[in-house]
Amino acid sequence: MTKKRLVGTSWRVIDGVEQLDDVAVTAEFDESNISGSSGCNNYQAKYEVTGARFRLLGPVAITRKMCPDLQMSVETEFLNQLTNTTSIRLNGDRLELASDDGRILLVLRRTSAEDLLGEWRVLSMHIPERKAIVSASDDNLHLKFCRGFIQGNAGCNAFRGIWSLEGKTLRIGKLTTTAKECGEAAMTQEKALLNALSSVAGWRVIGDCLSLLRGDGGIALSLCRSSMNKPANATAREGQREY
């Protein structure tokens, strides 16, 4: 296979590591890097593909968050399998990473509309007038992708509309809303959220977080699974470590 078939693709690990609820191990390929969520942290490494041969070029850089033991175990298992990968095989929506002896280490599934479905909490949104990504001031901002339609709460009013997906291109149609009037701050944020949704042209899922992208590739909205519970013993530390 050629690198060209990998560039721009996104995947989710479905075999080779223990599957835990609400824990996604993912991989994205660009021209020179493989990156994604390793189960707890985000990772990135340079890679090379020559025919069926695959190898990492140097160590894997990874953020330094600590998660519960089971989650950290999945992460360690995944990173070990990835660093031991020497061959790669792409068959439609299935990607297999294998070792020198031909043993399959990891099986990945191409991300699809199924990965969008469900409820998401809005963390931040792009506001063009301020040329900035601004954190949501209301924890109740959420949206839900259902089959064929999207619905949610914009802070004051509920909204609903249709969405469609073609490859990595995501389109959200005109949204209808209820007609309540709230305070100025709530209405300003609601307008920003609805405008951000109307600008969406793409998407990216990493672990339990979703980025809805504008046509220029910038972030329109950042979201995380609303059901995701932060464990009390999970801590985040700045910087990266190498694996």
pLDDT digits (tens, 9 = 90+) for 141-166: 999 999 989 999 999 999 999 999 88
Mean pLDDT of 114-124: 92
pLDDT score at 231: 36
The beta-strand segments (E) located in the chain are 10-15, 26-29, 33-37, 42-50, 53-56, 61-63, 87-91, 94-98, 104-110, 118-127, 132-135, 142-145, 149-153, 158-166, 169-172, 176-177, 200-206, 209-214, 219-225, 240-242
pLDDT band, very low/low/confident/very high, at 236 (cuts 50, 70, 90): very low
What is the chain's mean pLDDT, rounded?
88
Mean pLDDT of 111-134: 89
What is the residue extent of each domain of the chain? Answer: 3-111, 115-225
Ranking 79-83, 98-102, 172-176, 222-226 by mean pLDDT, the lowest is 222-226
115-225 domain in CATH 2.40.128.270?
yes
- The Cα 189–Cα 66 span in angstroms is 33
For residue 1, give the amino acid letter.
M
Give pTM, 2 decimals.
0.69
pLDDT band, very low/low/confident/very high, at 1 (cuts 50, 70, 90): low
- The Cα 174–Cα 143 span in angstroms is 15
**Strand pairing partners for 90?**
95
- CATH among 3.30.420.40, 1.10.760.10, 2.40.128.270, 3.10.20.310 for 3-111: 2.40.128.270
Q: Which two tokens stand for residue 159?
A: 């909204």
